[in-house]
Amino acid sequence: MSLRKLISLIILQIFIVSFVNAKKSRDRIKIGGLFDETTADAENVFKYAVEIMNNMRDPSDGHLEAITKRIEYGNEYDASKKLCKLMNKGIMGLLHGPLSSNAATHVQNICDAKEMPLIETRYDPATQQPVINLYPHPSMLAQLYSDLVNSFGWESFTIIYESTAWLPIMHELLKKYDNKGFTVTVRQLDLIGNQNYRPQLRRIRLSGDKKIVLGCSADILPEVLKQAQQVGLLTDQYQFIITSLDMHTIDLEPFQHSGTSIFGARMISPDDPFVKEITDFFIEKHKSEKGSEEKASDDDDDEDEDEEENDENEDEEEEVPEGLTADKMRLDTALTFDAVLLFSQIVKFSDSVQPKSIKCDDDSERTHGISDIMAMKTVDKRRVKGLTGSIHFDQKGHRSEFLAEIIELASDGIQKVGVWNSTDSEIYLIKAHDSLSGFGDELSLRNKSFLVLTALSAPYGMLKETPDTMIGNERFEGFGIELIQKLSEKLGFSYTFKLQEDGAYGSYNKETGEWNGMLREIMDGRADLAITDLTITSEREGATDFTMPFMNLGISILFEKAKKEPPQLFSFLSPFSGEVWVWLIGALAFVSCSLFVMGRLSPAEWDNPYPCIEEPEVLENQFSMRNSVWFSIGALLQQGSEIAPKAPSTRIVASTWWFFTLIIVSSYTANLAAFLTIESLSTPIEDVEDLANANGAIPYGAKKGGSTFSFFKESENPIYKKMYEFMNSHPEHMTSSNDEGLERAKAGRYAFLMESSSIEYLIERNCEVTQVGGDLDQKGYGIAMRKNSPYRGALSEAVLQMQESGDITALKIKWWKEKRGGGACDDAGSDSGAEELDVANVAGVYVVLISGCTFAIIVSLLESLFDIRNRAKELEVPFIEEFLNEAKFIIKCRGNVKPVRRKLSAGSLNEEESRSVSRSSESPKREIIGPYGFNGPCLKNLTKLDLMADHDDDDKV
């Protein structure tokens, strides 16, 4: 055999071996798993999941192989060593369960350096790329529990957390803190480290806070609840939200009948058919493996075992591990299956699967590791659906979209009561659940009877206007009366109204330490409920309980309606601002000057003044400065003039000016109607700052001893403190009732501070007053009851349902706008037609007209006097004589022909004749002198003008 053939055979053999090895590598795809002694169930599920994936996969896609290593919990060195052994075997990727924090960090660093795809299934608020964590991101969990708190209407609560790792979940809840609204208390469970949680739990009980958010792992959760029960926190007065997603996996039977409302969330739905199918496989697989182990063990034992021991082995074979069932499976166990499912999908749709042995002590790294990581992050959520729902990551690789079931511990165990969707961040309740407010069916209001206090305060409680004598509940009507009626129909209780005779709602006397009014009756047990315009305050809630607000409102100002301002004299100038008028005058001057200059430059504008002269010695231009200004004014006022431009340049300027005036005049006319008919309203105050800064110029006050006065008294706002000092130092401005405040406001120059809802009621019936400014605060009216009343939740839920259905809105419309004279001011001054203009609206136009005419008369008089003076000099007659002569002619007021007075020459008339002619009514006939004193040939054939002195005759030429 030649050397060439030998080399060819060797190359061919190498190629065949390489191809076979590559195919074998593709056929066997290894997935590594790191587990410790606390995650035995997750390790089993990892192996079972690989088997399930192999059964579901096409053989051409390759065979998955699970390689696991169990490490010592908390041993970072052991975790690193076992990981290196896995990578040396050529694994495609790695997943690990809830290792210790330090061990997980070591694993993350090694995988990052070797570009090994890593999937975590543990809660890790500090997950770094390129790690893929199937556990929901803390920000999404924070939104989940924030929405849960909002759905329960908690305004104050206490947060208990195990360690700082749980604080990211509480982030959104901590943001709710507001010194005027939410009160959030934060406490750490174990400050010493001896697992004694009682000191902190006891402080919570003494604080009086009934709503608690508990953030701790499922490992210590049973002990925490046990110690909470020991200190008295697990009673029917308390509500808990557990933030561990494994709450359903622990034994909660000792707490089922405590009456405490304990809520939580889980991502595994036991009712999901896919979950049932997978968990059933886990259980059967576990049983078969256990049976095989026991059978092998039995073969080694003595064959003479008694029958009782065989029965015990059969019973043990039938035991089902709780960690593998759908209703007791931990989240990390379910996420282990989802991780294998994710690996399987990436292998199926990836062409870069090239397993490679990697050593930790060199620079080798995983081929295409980064691309596989990115493929996992961009996986299609519709294609990958695991035990925890659809798998989807955001751009940072966080589990950002998922569904969570809202669960509650009821007397018969864990119950599903709602669903939370991360995409729209909403809680969807499956059904109305009594215990959502902390009370079960045993505390139902059905067939209960209550004594309800009310007060005469329109429109919440009023006596019926009827001539008949009425007794009992039939005496009353109003918003609050009808609200109690609808609540009784919804919840099935009966009621009897009782009138609070003194009308006092309830205030605390610091000197005596006692409450009065309705709240005193409630506290002493002489009444069950109280309803009127009773404001919920922190001080009142310390003594009694309230339902959720049935009406939200705030403090505002009742003041007289703004008065109409008299129209401005020159309101016709309002359509344009002063700046526009200045520019308009400037434009007029500019165009006038342009016409004057262009008229002098353009030859076409120079005309022969006497057409009869073919060769004139002078030419005349019509665009003098006066004529140019006159032309511009005539065009602006849409009147035109006798002057018409003839040159192209002057016509261009004129056309542009006409277009400009068209737009300007149209805009002016469009706005003029509105400005002439609009009525400006003047009010001395616009808001509470104006009222406070008036320094008593406008007196103001509130009801004595009411919640409005208390608001200003307790406020830290400098403006409100200033107003409190004014009211406190001027008790004469305070009122004993809202009706007195209304009468003062109607009288004028007085501002009354009261609730906005009451203001809305008053201004519907008293057209002289209105609300000024917005609400100064936010509060609500609620139904009062005894402290820690078992019926508060049911009543609050019923009020909420009425708000959602629109029943409360309909009640408000009925009693505010329809009953008892409501809506009287709706049509006041709302005439839809055009209003007539009064003299005051157009007075400015008359002023301009009169001023223009007066100015014209003055100019005319000055012109006449100036002409008389010049003519007197020319005729050499006294000024007074010529003035009287002109006045006589003007006073006659008839005749359009005026004789021309001229000085006679000496040759024709002597001095005496000249004077006689000038004084006589008849004047000698004179030859007509042409314009500008020019006697041209064109005048030879003209007739002579008889200068008539006697103007009683008809005018003749």
Q: Which CATH architecture has domain 682-777?
A: 3-Layer(aba) Sandwich (3.40)
Look up the CATH number of domain 571-677: 1.10.287.70
Q: How many Å apart are CA 792 and CA 261, to the nearest integer?
A: 14
Identity of the residue numbered 215: G
Over residues 687-739, the pLDDT tens digits come to 888 888 888 888 999 988 777 888 888 888 899 999 999 998 998 999 988 88
Maximum Cα–Cα distance for the chain, whole Å? 183
Which residues of the chain does CATH 3.40.50.2300 include? 3-135+330-390, 138-244+247-272+403-429
Question: What's the CA gap between 213 and 158, in Å, rounded?
Answer: 6
Burial class (CB within 10 angstroms; exposed 0-12, middle 13-18, buried 19+) of 899? middle
Residue 858 burial by Cβ neighbours in a 10 Å radius (0-12, 13-18, 19+): exposed
Whole-model pTM: value is 0.46
**Secondary structure of residue 66 in the 3-state scheme:** strand
CB 764 within 8 Å of CB 817: yes
Helices (H), 614-735: 625-636, 648-677, 688-693, 707-714, 718-729
Tokens of 191: 């400050």
Rounded to 5°, the CA angle 789-791-795 comes to: 130
Distance (Å, whole) CA 113 – CA 164: 28
Task: List strand residue ranges (DSSP E) for 464-509, in order.
Answer: 476-477, 494-499, 508-509
- pLDDT score for 130: 55
Are 332 and 122 contacting, i.e. CB atoms less than 8 angstroms apart?
yes
Cα 379 off chain centre by: 35
Strands (E), 523-679: 529-530, 545-546, 551-553, 555-560, 563-564, 606-607, 620-621
pLDDT for 377: 55
* Cis previous bond, 130, omega within 30: yes
Question: What is the rounded CA–CA span in Å between residue 264 and residue 418?
Answer: 10
| Residue spans in the chain of domains classed CATH 1.10.287.70 | 571-677
User: Is 373 within 8 Å of 117 (Cβ atoms)?
Assistant: yes
> Are the CB atoms for 406 and 266 separated by under 8 Å?
no
Handedness of CA 421, 423, 427, 428 (dihedral sign): negative
Which residues, 6+ apart, have CB-to-CB distance to 179 below 8 Å?
A: none
pLDDT at position 821 = 81
| Per-residue pLDDT, 550 | 92
CB of 95 closer than 8 Å to CB of 46: yes
Polymer length in residues for the chain: 957
Q: What pLDDT is attached to residue 936?
A: 45
Cα-atom radius of gyration of the chain, to the nearest Å? 50
Structural contact between residues 322 and 333, judged by C-beta atoms closer than 8 angstroms: no
Q: What is the pLDDT of residue 917?
A: 44
Cβ-contact 181, 780 below 8 angstroms: no
The C-alpha atoms of residue 896 and residue 906 are separated, in whole angstroms, by 31
Number of alpha carbons in the 13 Å side-chain half-sphere of residue 659: 5
CATH number for the region 3-135+330-390 comes to 3.40.50.2300
CATH architecture of 138-244+247-272+403-429: 3-Layer(aba) Sandwich (3.40)
Helices (H) and strands (E) in the chain, counts: 28, 34
Q: By CB neighbour count within 10 A (0-12 exposed, 13-18 middle, 19+ buried), where does 419 fall?
A: middle
Stated as kind and residue range, the H or E segment containing 403 is strand 403-410
Token pair 């007060």 is found at: 455
Considering the chain, tell me which residue range(s) the CATH 3.40.190.10 domain(s) occupy.
447-554+780-818, 682-777
Q: What's residue 479's pLDDT?
A: 93
CA pair distance 668, 660, nearest whole angstrom: 12
The predicted structure's pLDDT at residue 920: 42
Q: Which residue has the tokens 């005469």?
A: 456
Predicted confidence at residue 468, as pLDDT, reads: 81
- pLDDT tens digit sequence for 134-177: 888 888 888 889 888 888 888 889 999 988 888 888 888 888 77
* CA neighbor of 557 nearest in space, from 367, 701, 376: 701
| Pairing label, strands 261-266, 385-386 | unpaired
Q: Which of 903, 888, 893 is closest to 949 using CA atoms?
A: 888
Q: Which residues contact 670 (CB under 8 A, 6 or more apart)?
A: 575
Closest CA to 98 of 180, 58, 41: 41
pLDDT at 240: 93
Domain 447-554+780-818: CATH superfamily, name plus number: Periplasmic binding protein-like II (3.40.190.10)
Identify whether the C-beta of residue 428 lies closer than 8 Å to the C-beta of residue 420: yes
Q: How many CB atoms lie within 10 A of CB 649?
A: 17
Pair type for strands 508-509 and 514-515: antiparallel
Q: Which residue has the tokens 């690996």?
A: 343
Q: Along the chain (957 residues), what's the average pLDDT of each consecutive run of 10 residues?
A: 51 44 58 82 85 77 82 82 85 77 80 81 68 84 88 86 87 76 82 79 88 91 91 88 91 86 90 85 81 60 49 50 82 88 72 66 63 54 71 74 86 84 71 41 65 90 85 90 91 90 86 90 90 87 90 89 68 78 86 80 74 76 85 83 80 82 81 67 78 86 84 88 90 88 89 89 88 86 88 87 90 88 66 52 57 67 82 85 80 65 55 46 42 43 39 39
What pLDDT was estimated at residue 477?
Answer: 92
Structure token pair of residue 914: 């000249």
Q: What is the pLDDT, as a whole number, of residue 373?
A: 56
Cis amide bond preceding 355, omega within 30: no
Q: Where do runs of H (alpha helix) occur along 248-379?
A: 273-300, 307-317, 331-349, 369-377
The single-letter DSSP state of residue 33 is E
Any bridge partners for residue 546, and if so which?
A: 784
Query: How do beta strands 551-553 and 779-781 pair?
Result: antiparallel
